[in-house]
């Protein structure tokens, strides 16, 4: 089965290919020759993921999914959320984003936060949403050099290593993205199984 992932992020593509396995042929935007900027200007993760998926579905008619992720901090009423990549400005500088978060939280005892990934799937012309969440706290200083984005200040609940101190495989066992993609995988596998039953 062929399915388009509305992204050109090689790192994510590899990660998702390994989660979805060989039953699916995953194509990136580059693979289907889409050069345009995919819209990403909604105020919710759900809206962004859906608008990306709808844009590609409209252009190609193919089965497609898109994802959007944000760090949601309780004391900041869910910010940076949908603004996570460009919280400190359009240069999308991860260090500046982290500095901004730490400055905003410097006098705050409530350090609760979560990463949330939303996947929007358009499959056989119907829309579906899948969500993955990991909860944790924002520590006061960066720790670790692995990962990306806010990983050095995010300590997942029940762990004593930040995401940036963990091996990627360790992070992938519990991450928001892995949880959301696991749900997508289950959905697609279910579909494949029931479809096969019908045709036997
Ligand atoms: P995207 O929707 O996956 O592109 O993520 C948007 C932004 O959220 C990224 O630019 C990062 O700032 C942040 N982010 C997403 N996933 C992670 C993660 O696993 N660790 C740290 N930051 C992340």
Tens-digit pLDDT profile for residues 118-129: 999 999 999 999
Instruction: Give residue for tokens 């004593």.
Output: 160
Domains plus CATH for the chain? Answer: 2-199 (3.90.950.10)
Q: Rounded to whole angstroms, how far apart are CA atoms 149 and 164?
A: 9
Q: Rounded to whole angstroms, how far apart are CA atoms 199 and 189?
A: 15
**Predicted local distance difference test score (pLDDT) of residue 196:** 62
Pick from 149, 172, 179 the residue to mutate for probing ligand 1's pocket: most ligand atoms within 8 Å of its CB.
149
Q: Rounded to whole angstroms, how far apart are CA atoms 149 and 129?
A: 24
Region of 89 on the Ramachandran plot (φ > 0 left; ψ -120 to 50 alpha; else beta): left
Instruction: Give residue for tokens 């400190």.
Output: 88
Q: Is the pTM of this model over 0.75?
A: yes
CA of 69 to the centre of ligand 1 (A): 6
Closest residue CA from atom 16 of ligand 1: 69
Tens-digit pLDDT profile for residues 38-79: 878 899 999 999 999 999 999 999 999 999 999 999 999 999
Does 72 sit in the ligand 1 pocket, CB within 6 Å? no
Closest residue CA from atom 7 of ligand 1: 85
Q: How far is CA 130 from CA 22, 65, 148, 182, 200, in A?
A: 21, 10, 23, 9, 29
Q: Among this protein's residues, is 37 annotated catalytic?
A: no
């Amino acid at each position: 089965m062929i399915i388009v992932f509305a992204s050109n992020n090689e790192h994510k593509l590899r990660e998702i290919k390994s989660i979805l396995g060989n039953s699916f042929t995953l194509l990136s935007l580059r693979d289907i020759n889409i050069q345009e900027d995919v819209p990403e200007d909604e105020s919710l993760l759900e809206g962004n993921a859906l608008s990306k998926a709808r844009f590609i579905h409209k252009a190609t008619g193919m089965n497609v999914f898109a994802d959007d992720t944000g760090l949601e901090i309780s004391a900041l009423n869910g910010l940076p959320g949908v603004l996570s990549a460009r919280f400190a400005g359009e240069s999308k500088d991860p260090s500046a984003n982290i500095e901004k978060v730490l400055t905003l939280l410097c006098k705050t005892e409530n350090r609760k936060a979560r990463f949330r990934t939303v996947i929007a799937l358009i499959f056989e012309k119907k829309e579906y949403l899948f969500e993955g969440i990991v909860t944790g706290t924002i520590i006061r200083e960066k720790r670790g050099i692995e990962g990306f984005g806010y990983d050095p200040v995010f300590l997942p609940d029940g762990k004593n290593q930040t995401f940036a101190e963990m091996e990627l495989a360790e992070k992938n066992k519990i991450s928001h993205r892995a949880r959301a993609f696991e749900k997508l995988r289950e959905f697609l596998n279910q579909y494949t199984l029931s479809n096969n039953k019908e045709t036997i």
